[in-house]
């Protein structure tokens, strides 16, 4: 790929995909077929206009990749001309994300999960069988290419696969997009009208739509081959309630609607108390909402456990503007799928919660940064947003209260690092999804350099019961320092995998009793690949942030991966090391080099090569401590955690 503009031309389909997103080019300088006499007299836009369009780079790459299946040199060149982005920079962004391809490939791509939960449920045998039928991974066969994939967020149905097919999804033709009210600096809070996300002409509502998709889980090689040949024959996805074994239990709070309410119906949502919390928020005012969240003791559910009210308060107090709200829906931690279940089964709850959060922090624009491997969540959220706009629950005058707020979905494209809050900002802005150094913190300078509040899906949805029942009632559940309920993603070798909701303070044994533990339990991994192991004699550990910390492990995002004694733990640890090596963005040396050294050492131990396990363990301890102390973000800081806990608590290599 030349790192300058070239003479390569896009195909008609590629040009149509980009133009449907951005509108037709306004001049020859923006990619029109010919330069007019007017174009030769003066160039429109300039550096400021180019900066304002840069945030459309990721959607434009999605538009081409989704329509054609890969991004050609001509398509990339055309995108660069449209957005005034240097080709070298756009190429760096396109190659950063695993779901994009810059070399020709078939229109159908089958992603077969190789990660922890799927490996525990037999994905290795599925891949071996698939290799015999379709050839090795990466080999095109019958118009399809299959490839190994990290966790797809389908752990309750492991082993899992996701089939993506390039082209416009006819089921999305009714989903018109609306020009967001806010946007990057330079965009004013203008008319609320039907436009393309880039502010151009009204777009084809199918532009940028997710590719036709099919989830195959649990996956078998024959089912995968049949689905690859005829995607319409792929099995229907089960309803979201299938992932909630407790569905219908009156004690549920966050999961109470899943399985009992039609997720596509706004009327059903409102009939079960929907939008009660938003009305109370308007009655309390922004400061009152923040006070309720503070008094409730709500902390972030992504793993860091930072007080949500303090984050909102710090954002609201910033004099600089505009303010932004970002929902982190890029749950890429292996074993995590709770946010997916919430978005698929109760999308209006997230829309309402984001509206409340935006009101509290003084934001008029919200973004959902959605994991690229979640096509059904995208469809459900897009439908919910369109319905909410139609009913006056989003837009220039929410519920007639004079408050303007709208939400835009931005899809990720397969990068674990984009679960880090500042990496999300870079990704939305059209940069590589690399974390930023702190300070400044997001509440001061976040998205587009403006004050920004970032929360994940579960954290935001917790705001609804706080406002519906009051802070005191919410804080009465759980413990003094971990209030409310928590969602746990239980997978692996249990009888009833799925998302469980329990009050903080319940212990691990109670949770496993609900899920049906294996007869011969070997270990439980808490917190995912960045978490830690516990032994069978440690199941009474309380499931709270402080309880797991005191026990020498972590609650993290709520991953509970159960392993019996048939699992080879050294292979599990090697897979964790491979995962972190693959997903390191490479920005900082401790993580870029350390994850490679950790994987190399584990390979020597597993393959029984080299001087011996003791020397490699000593090396990993030294490297792990360096990563923990010096890495820019949480990926490098936690990449050694699970391996260390397995060595110290489980005695894996003795």
* This prediction's pTM: 0.92
Residue 4, in any domain of the structure: no
For position 192, what pLDDT does the model report?
31
Residue 401, in any domain of the structure: yes
Query: d(Cα 444, Cα 107) in Å, to the nearest integer?
Result: 43
Same domain, 94 and 112: no
Residue 291, in any domain of the structure: yes
> Is 185 in contact with 324 (CB distance < 8 Å)?
no
CA distances from 475 to 27, 480, 485 (A): 59, 8, 10
Same domain, 387 and 344: yes
Same domain, 453 and 501: no
Same domain, 262 and 409: yes
Give the rounded percent of residues in the chain with a pLDDT score beyond 70: 89
* Bridge partners, 561 (sequence order): 491, 525
> Is 75 in contact with 19 (CB distance < 8 Å)?
no
107-121 average pLDDT score: 94
pLDDT of 547 strictly over 50: yes
CATH (domain of 78): 1.10.10.1590
Domain end marker among 564, 583, 613: 564
Domain end marker among 49, 76, 103: 103
Q: What share of the chain is helix, strand, coil (3-state, %, to 5)?
A: 45, 15, 40
577-592 average pLDDT score: 94
Residue 177, in any domain of the structure: no
Mean of pLDDT over the chain: 89
pLDDT of 154 strictly over 80: yes
**Tens of pLDDT, residues 188-242:** 333 333 333 333 333 333 344 445 788 898 999 999 999 888 887 888 888 888 9
Domain end marker among 549, 564, 579: 564
In the numeric block, the tokens 């070798």 are attached to 493
Residue 531, in any domain of the structure: yes
Residue 412, in any domain of the structure: yes
CATH (domain of 498): 3.10.20.600
Residues 6+ apart with CB under 8 A from 399: 275, 278, 279, 282, 392, 393
> Is 404 in contact with 181 (CB distance < 8 Å)?
yes
Same domain, 288 and 378: yes
Same domain, 553 and 597: no
Structure tokens at 463: 């705001």
User: How many structural domains does the chain have?
Assistant: 5
Residue 260: half-sphere exposure toward Cβ, Cα within 13 Å: 15
Same domain, 71 and 116: no
Same domain, 282 and 350: yes
Same domain, 143 and 221: yes
**Tens of pLDDT, residues 18-57:** 999 999 887 766 777 666 656 555 556 565 666 778 999 9
pLDDT of 187 strictly over 60: no
> Is 59 in contact with 410 (CB distance < 8 Å)?
yes
Q: Which of 30-44, 292-306, 331-345 shows the lowest per-residue confidence on average (mean pLDDT)?
A: 30-44
Same domain, 615 and 579: yes
Same domain, 320 and 416: yes
Provide the domain limits for residue 25.
12-103
Residue 239, in any domain of the structure: no
Same domain, 417 and 524: no
Residue 524, in any domain of the structure: yes
CATH (domain of 130): 3.40.30.10
């Amino acid at each position: 790929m030349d790192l300058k503009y070239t003479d390569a031309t896009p195909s008609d389909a590629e040009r149509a995909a980009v133009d449907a997103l951005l509108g037709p080019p306004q001049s020859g300088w923006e990619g029109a077929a010919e330069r007019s006499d007017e174009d030769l007299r003066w160039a429109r836009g300039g550096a400021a206009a180019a900066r304002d369009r840069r945030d459309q780079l990721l959607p434009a790459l999605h538009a081409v990749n989704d329509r054609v299946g890969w991004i050609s040199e001509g398509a990339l060149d055309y995108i660069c001309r449209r957005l005034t982005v240097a080709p070298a920079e756009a190429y760096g962004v396109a190659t950063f994300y695993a779901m994009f391809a810059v070399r020709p490939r078939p229109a159908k791509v089958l992603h077969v999960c190789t990660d922890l939960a799927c490996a525990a449920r037999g994905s290795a045998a599925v891949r071996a069988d698939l290799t015999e039928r379709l050839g090795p991974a990466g080999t095109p066969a019958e118009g399809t290419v299959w490839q190994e994939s990290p966790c797809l967020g389908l752990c309750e149905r492991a082993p899992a696969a996701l089939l993506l097919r390039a082209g416009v999804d006819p089921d999305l033709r009714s989903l018109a997009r609306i020009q967001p009210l806010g946007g990057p600096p330079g965009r004013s809070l203008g008319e609320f009208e039907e436009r393309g996300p880039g502010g151009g002409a009204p777009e084809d509502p199918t532009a940028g739509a997710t590719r036709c998709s099919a989830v195959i889980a649990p996956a078998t090689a024959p089912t995968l081959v049949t689905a690859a040949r005829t995607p319409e024959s792929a099995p229907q996805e089960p309803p979201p309630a299938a992932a909630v074994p407790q569905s219908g239990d009156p004690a549920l709070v966050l999961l109470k609607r899943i399985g009992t309410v039609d997720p596509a119906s706004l009327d059903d949502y409102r009939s079960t108390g929907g939008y009660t919390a938003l009305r109370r928020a308007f009655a309390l005012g922004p400061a009152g909402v923040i006070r309720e969240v503070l008094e409730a003791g709500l902390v972030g559910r992504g793993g860091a456990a930072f007080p949500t009210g303090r984050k909102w308060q710090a954002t609201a107090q910033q004099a600089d503007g505009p303010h932004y709200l970002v929902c982190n829906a890029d749950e890429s931690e292996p074993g995590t799928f709770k946010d997916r279940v919430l978005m698929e089964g109760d999308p209006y709850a997230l829309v309402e919660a984001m509206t409340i959060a935006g009101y509290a922090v003084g934001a008029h624009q919200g973004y959902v940064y959605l994991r690229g491997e979640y096509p059904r969540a995208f469809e459900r959220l897009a439908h919910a947003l369109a319905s909410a706009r139609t009913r006056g629950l989003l837009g220039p005058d929410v519920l007639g209260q004079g408050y303007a707020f709208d939400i835009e979905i931005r899809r990720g494209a397969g990068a674990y690092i984009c679960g880090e809050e500042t990496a999300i900002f870079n990704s939305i802005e059209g940069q590589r999804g690399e974390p930023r150094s702190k300070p400044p913190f997001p509440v001061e300078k976040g998205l587009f350099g403006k004050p920004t509040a970032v929360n994940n899906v579960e954290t935001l949805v917790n705001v609804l019961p706080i406002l519906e029942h009051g802070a005191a009632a919410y804080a009465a559940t759980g413990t003094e320092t971990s209030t409310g309920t928590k969602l746990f993603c239980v997978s692996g070798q249990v009888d009833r995998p799925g998302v469980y909701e329990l009050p903080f303070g319940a212990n691990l044994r109670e949770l496993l009793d609900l899920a049906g533990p294996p007869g011969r339990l070997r270990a439980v991994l808490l917190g995912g690949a960045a978490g830690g192991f516990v032994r069978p004699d440690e199941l009474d550990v309380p499931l709270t942030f402080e309880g797991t910390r005191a026990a020498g492990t972590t609650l993290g995002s709520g991953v509970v991966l159960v392993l019996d004694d048939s699992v080879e733990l050294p292979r599990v640890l090697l897979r964790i090391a491979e995962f972190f090596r693959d997903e390191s963005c490479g920005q900082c040396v401790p993580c870029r080099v350390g994850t490679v050294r950790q994987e190399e050492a584990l390979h020597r131990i597993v393959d029984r090569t080299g001087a011996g396990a003791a020397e490699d363990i000593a090396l990993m301890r030294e490297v792990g401590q360096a990563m923990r102390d010096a890495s820019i973000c949480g990926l490098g800081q936690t990449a050694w955690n699970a391996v260390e806990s397995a060595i110290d608590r489980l005695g894996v290599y003795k």
